[in-house]
Structure 1
């Protein structure tokens, strides 16, 4: 009678590294629905700096957000940037009519294997950051996307 090989005790997930102007975020691969080119959008009147406007995507109008500015940093975005992209993020907050958000990113996301051996980094966290981890020679932050979505809901954007 042959034995079935045991499944590995540790599994790796695939994450995506999203470069921003001042930090890098780590999200699960499944959190990003699509990456689209950035096109300048008109600012929405009465909205905070971190809400850059709205982007059209698949017949939807999504709020375009600066994670950096929403988490307390100064908005440093150059609207004529040639490296800017928009990451369409699957909404996680459970709101019935909200399925996606749009985050402004720099460049193309890179894939990363997330394993139990990934080391936590003891660094200060900004608002909207849940944790930090050491990846190669840099620190990457894990964002609180549900809290970001709640901020949008509080403003009445969603």
Structure 2
């Protein structure tokens, strides 16, 4: 063995149920929570849109997407502004409601093991990281679902009223 350990710059994001582990390059900004403009009545997990740096971005509740509980507002709510993992000229960013301040960390493979818990529909993996249960979200699937709802909503807005 060479003795070198592979590491990944990551962020542990506090959530109401279990923290999410994502690559740090996905985080564009963390800001105080502000209530989004409710534009998506057909879904419980897409909370609305928010104006961020001059662009309108959707705000999601990962817990609701993952079929978990989500208390909408608390004093510790923040918004994590995420860069998309897939290319999109229309929606290069989206926001996720988080609980508190994300913790940057250097992830070393030896510090992670699989969890025996069943993963939710929006999770790639459930893991134990340094003895902390965490989830690795399926960001590509999450972004696909956001695109579907936002596109559907824009089509409805563009169609003439009868």
Shift in Å, 1:122: 2.2
1:129 aligns with 2:123: yes
> What is the aligned partner in structure 2 of residue 50 from structure 1?
45
1:90 aligns with 2:83: yes
Matches within 5 A, 1:38-117: 38-78=33-73, 81-117=74-110
TM-score, normalised with respect to structure 1: 0.86
In structure 2, how many angstroms separate the alpha carbons of the residues matched to 1:47 and 1:146?
Answer: 21
Contact persistence 2:40–2:46 (CA under 8 A): no
> What is the aligned partner in structure 2 of residue 3 from structure 1?
none
In structure 1, how many angstroms separate the alpha carbons of the residues matched to 2:94 and 2:3?
Answer: 35
| Consecutive aligned runs of 4 or more in structure 1 exceeding 3 Å deviation | none
Shift in Å, 1:148: 0.7
Contact persistence 1:14–1:114 (CA under 8 A): yes
SS for the counterpart of 2:109 is coil
Which is further off, 28-37 or 41-50?
Answer: 41-50
Q: How many residues are paired up?
A: 150
SS for the counterpart of 2:145 is helix
What is the RMSD of the two structures over their aligned residues, measured on CA atoms? 1.8
Shift in Å, 1:42: 3.3
In structure 1, how many angstroms separate the alpha carbons of the residues matched to 2:70 and 2:102?
Answer: 21
TM-score, normalised with respect to structure 2: 0.84
Shift in Å, 1:85: 0.5
Contact persistence 1:17–1:27 (CA under 8 A): yes
Which is further off, 56-65 or 94-103?
Answer: 94-103
Contact persistence 1:50–1:75 (CA under 8 A): no
Contact persistence 1:49–1:75 (CA under 8 A): no
Contact persistence 1:64–1:101 (CA under 8 A): yes
Provide structure 2 residue ranges, at least 5 long, that are not aligned to the other structure: 155-162
